[in-house]
Amino acid sequence: MDNKVFNINGRGDELLEKVIELAFIQEWGPESPATVKAWREDKEKGLIFLWTATEDSNKFPTALNAKQAAGVASAWLQGEFAQEVELDGWDVDCDHDGSNDLGWRVYCEDWGHVGHDSYAIIAIKPAYMWYGK
């Protein structure tokens, strides 16, 4: 669908897997959920999963289902590149009267794209969870 909206933040691998599964179902429906065939890193957008390879993407050796993609995303979030992703808005380590904990955000942007990637299913980036009093 062209007006897809997806934007979920959270913490932990179990929730990450379920969120990615939901995104894959939203892409093509529950009867035939999407698979991810390629990926790209972006210092602003994070890790971008694509349903097909493009000139500037990295192709996976085989298409990944949601569970497999979640494993890749979890490992990526622990890596060096993820630490360099620019956080802004609701993702930052905000100074407030509560506490913050590093988690992640899974999202897409207008038209279901991420940046210039019209083949994107979702992007994953580090994001802080804010906890009030």
Q: What are phi and psi of 51, to 5 degrees?
A: -80, -5
Q: What is the model's pLDDT at position 27?
A: 84
Rounded to 5 degrees, φ, ψ at 55 are: -60, -35
- Specify the residue for token string 């979702």: 122
| The two structure tokens encoding residue 13 | 């691998």
**Model pLDDT for residues 89-127, shown as the tens digit of each residue:** 999 999 888 899 999 999 999 888 998 888 999 999 999
Sole residue written with tokens 């956080």? 87
Write down the domain spans for the chain.
7-131
pTM of the model: 0.94
- Contact criterion met (CB below 8 Å) for 121 and 108: yes
DSSP labels, 27-90: HH-TTS---EEEEEEETTTEEEEESS--TTSEEEEEEE-HHHHHHHHHHHHHSHHHHHSPP-GG
Tens-place pLDDT, residues 10-60: 999 999 999 999 999 998 878 888 899 999 999 999 999 999 999 999 999
Task: Encode burial over 97-125: b for 16+ CB neighbours within 10 A, e otherwise.
Answer: eeeeeebbbbbbbeebbbeebebbbbbbb
Residue with tokens 């083949």: 119
